Amino acid sequence: MAETPALALSHIWLVARVYEPDEGGVQTYAREVGRAYAMQGRRVTIFAKSSAGPRRVQDGGIRLIDVGEASMLTVYWRLFRAMLSAWAKGERPELIHACTWRAALPALLFPRPLVVTIHGREVGRPRGIAFALLRLTLKRARRIVAVSDVTRALLLERLPDLASRTVTAWNGVVMPAERPATAFARGNSGAQLLTVCRLVARKNVSAAVRAIAGCVQTGARLRHVIVGRGVDSVRVRETIRHCGLDGVVTMAGYASDAELAAAYAGADIFLHPQIALEDGAEIEGFGLSIADAMAQGLVCIVGQDGGPSELVRDGVTGLVVDGRSVEAIQAAIDMLVADPALCRRLGDRARQWAAESLSWDRHCSLSLGEGETASPPPASLAEAA
């Protein structure tokens, strides 16, 4: 792409329609991008809404202006009003970074360069007026940041004239301390499988449960914990009941940071066989929970659709399967459950790759035009294939 000259930036506005303590990938994205900009020595003002607002919080170089929950149009109005108030007080940034294209709408009237991040489904699904707003917003953007090549391609299928200003920048991870070997890795127990996601249809968790049922029927020793909640919860719970997996598969629902850390520490295999829906418009653009699992040193089983297959290299840092095939998911689980050494080997490579390739600091530098596009996997791992 043709590079736009980088700006000298001391103050950035970050705009997100959602924020912690509410759950979701965009909430995590907004938090980590804000922290990364602050670590680069920039002053950051985050305009967002959450169930904990309205509130104003100052934390080091980050100021949060949370407008609180309300209807969609009311949230947009409150965000615009909060930004206008800051502008009137002379708190004017050099650049505005919107965490989604919809979050950029309240920022369109402010005369500052605009960066917009796109994650996947939100650029594939809009039609009619929503698509017109999408096009208007992204044409206004100085730089469009796609979190995967899949997401970039999805956008350019619809708006090919935006290619020159659209860059791929993978999300980052926060690398945890290396964890000790689990009982499974030491050969003392069955495997612990973990899924962490918002329970929606494209995550394909019901198919994962059916695959586990097949593994159990052929004698595999395993347990599966599903962390998260969402509109697909009822279907997943019914699948567990129908397959007779009570006691084998546990739906843990919401987990605090400490509970989630414990779940990762006790797991051996991360299961996320996502699929694309709506002719490819409904996709998993990146997969933050998958990246986190890789950083933890877990071997991941992911679907071939969407961004996660850019992160996991089949047979090198994990396993990539056809998520529409319960038999393929089951075969992958069976392979790993039967071979603790393979799990550890792939998990170690996954952790190495995550440490070398997924950085929030790098993501933010690319967002500002201060680096190149996402690089291929390190040569050391490519040679291991």
Tens digit of pLDDT for each residue in 305-323? 999 999 999 999 999 999 9
Q: Residue 269: enclosing H or E segment and its boundaries?
A: strand 269-272
Class at the top of the CATH hierarchy for domain 191-357: alpha beta
Whole-structure pTM value:
0.91
Starting from the edge strand earliest in sequence, which strands make up the sheet with 55-59, in order?
Answer: 55-59, 62-66, 43-48, 11-15, 95-98, 114-118, 143-146, 166-168
What pLDDT score was predicted for residue 179? 86
Which residue, 167, 161, 216, 170, is CA-closest to 191?
Answer: 216
Exposure of 261 by Cβ count < 10 A (0-12 exposed, 13-18 middle, 19+ buried)?
A: middle
Q: Which of 20-34, 155-169, 205-219 has the lowest mean pLDDT?
A: 20-34
Topology match between the domains 11-168 and 191-357: yes
Cβ–Cβ < 8 Å for 304, 146: no
What pLDDT score was predicted for residue 178? 87
Cα→Cα distances 186→265, 343, 344, Å = 14, 11, 10
In b/e form, how buried is each residue of 70-108, taking b as 16+ CB within 10 angstroms?
Answer: eeeeebbebbbebbeebbeeeeebebbbbbbbbbbbbbe
pLDDT tier for residue 302 given thresholds of 50, 70 and 90: very high
Average pLDDT along the chain: 93
pLDDT tier for residue 383 given thresholds of 50, 70 and 90: very low
**CATH (residue range 11-168):** 3.40.50.2000
What pLDDT score was predicted for residue 172? 97
- Indicate the domain borders of the chain: 11-168, 191-357
Q: Average pLDDT of 116-141? A: 95
- pLDDT tens digit string along 183-199? 999 888 999 999 999 99
